[in-house]
Amino acid sequence: MQIVIALVFGAAVGGLLHFLQPGRTFRGVALAPVLGAFTGGLAWLILTWAGATTLEPWLWLVSFAAPIVVVPLVLLVLTRVRTAHDARERIRLGIA
């Protein structure tokens, strides 16, 4: 049941990073929170399958740190890819 804490924390981090990072007009508002929740939940899942228990601090640290590290990187890459794609499409369509 404690996995919900990792999911909620990841979603909160993702929501916060959506508004803090530039280029939010190029991505959907739900992308970052869903990505954060997925990342935190996945880290929790992997560590519990590896045998970690809720009494071990590594489970908590990794499941909280994973969204903090992964979400900004993914948002940065997605924003750059979308910006470049939109620029190519404007040139292709003659809108530039």
Report the candidate in 79, 82, 87, 81 with the shortest Cα–Cα distance to residue 17.
Answer: 79
Domain boundaries, the chain: 3-93
Looking up tokens 């992308």 gives 31
- What mean pLDDT do residues 21-30 have? 91
pLDDT tens profile 48-58: 999 999 999 99
pTM: 0.90
Amino acid at 2: Q
Sheet strands (E) in 8-94 = none
The DSSP letter of residue 25 is: G
Looking up tokens 């996995």 gives 3
pLDDT of residue 19: 95
Percent of the chain scoring above 70 in pLDDT: 100
pLDDT tens profile 83-92: 999 999 999 9
Report the candidate in 58, 38, 35, 34 with the shortest Cα–Cα distance to residue 47.
Answer: 58
